[in-house]
Amino acid sequence: MGEAQEAIAALEELGLTEYEARCFVALAQLPHGTAKEIGQVADIPRSRVYETMDRLRKKGLIEIHETEPRMYQSVSTDTAIQILRKEYESYFDTAERTLEQLEPAYKDAQQGVWALNTHEQVTGRIVDLITDASDEVVLLVLEEDMLDEVTADALADVSDGDISVHVGTVSESTRDHVESMAIDATVFTTDLIEWFTAMSGSPRLSRLLLVDRGPVLVSALHEEELPGVPNETAVWTDGVDHGFATFAERIFTYELTENVTAETDEPT
């Protein structure tokens, strides 16, 4: 695929129609052009150029010089990108606003265990659970570099308040990340964490989260399907009235009591 075709495909992904994308890319390659010239470069019927250019004008992507014949000129690439980015972001704003209005005030998920199939989904759910915490967050990071920036930001935000944050790890880089992000957290390790971390093979336990001694998430890393993209899946449940959550909560509580609370209570 040539550069022009790549640009056309990208513009279509950003919301332009095929003809709009073809005409804009054609004009981007010309200092200016008539409908005939644009149609020839864009390889679309001349009769369709006029209406297409009118739509591009309304979007702010081209300028018109009222000559005979009429001349068209595209705005600069920087201006076009700014316009398209603003419009694209407005779609997200609209989707967020309308979906929040449609979503029930409370989704009862306490009786189920829910599956997450991508790294993005896992991170999104972890951030949501951390953000909704009211008392305590316990996060075990069992794989190197799995305390990503988005999760670290969420931990930093809640640690600024009255929420206790505990991060379990054997990784020095994770400890350094917690410190560099100024996360007010207790960083600890236990025999259980070391045991989990020492496990080999695939899948491997990756991140374990407990919030307010209720919602629980457990994730695992599988062999990468795309280079540099974590292949992570998870299950989570909201509330300790489910067996999975009860089991995980008991383990977390034991580890905190035996290792974190004990260290805190030692005389200085």
- Tens of pLDDT, residue by residue over 52-65, are 999 999 999 999 88
| Residue-level pLDDT at 245 | 72
Q: Which two tokens stand for residue 246?
A: 């009860």
Chain-centroid distance, C-alpha 155 = 16
Residue type at position 201: G
- 220 pLDDT exceeds 50? yes
| Residue-level pLDDT at 267 | 47
Confidence of residue 241 (pLDDT cuts 50, 70, 90): low
Per-residue pLDDT reduced to its tens digit, 153-169: 999 999 888 899 999 89
Give the H/E segment covering residue 39: helix 35-42
Residues listed for the chain: 268
- Which residues in 47-181 belong to E strands, given as ranges? 62-65, 71-74, 114-116, 136-141, 164-168
Q: How far apart are CA 26 and CA 8, in angstroms?
A: 10
**Does residue 218 contact residue 251 with C-beta atoms inside 8 Å?**
no
Would you tell me the crossing angle of helices 243-255 and 191-198 to the nearest 10 degrees?
120
| DSSP state for residue 166 in the 8-state scheme | E
| DSSP state for residue 32 in the 8-state scheme | S
Average pLDDT, the chain: 85
Dmax (CA) of the chain: 90
Q: How far apart are CA 128 and CA 219, in angstroms?
A: 15
- 100 pLDDT exceeds 70? yes
| DSSP state for residue 33 in the 8-state scheme | B
Q: How far apart are CA 175 and CA 29, in angstroms?
A: 51
| Residue-level pLDDT at 209 | 93
**pTM of the predicted model as reported, rounded to 2 decimal places:** 0.60
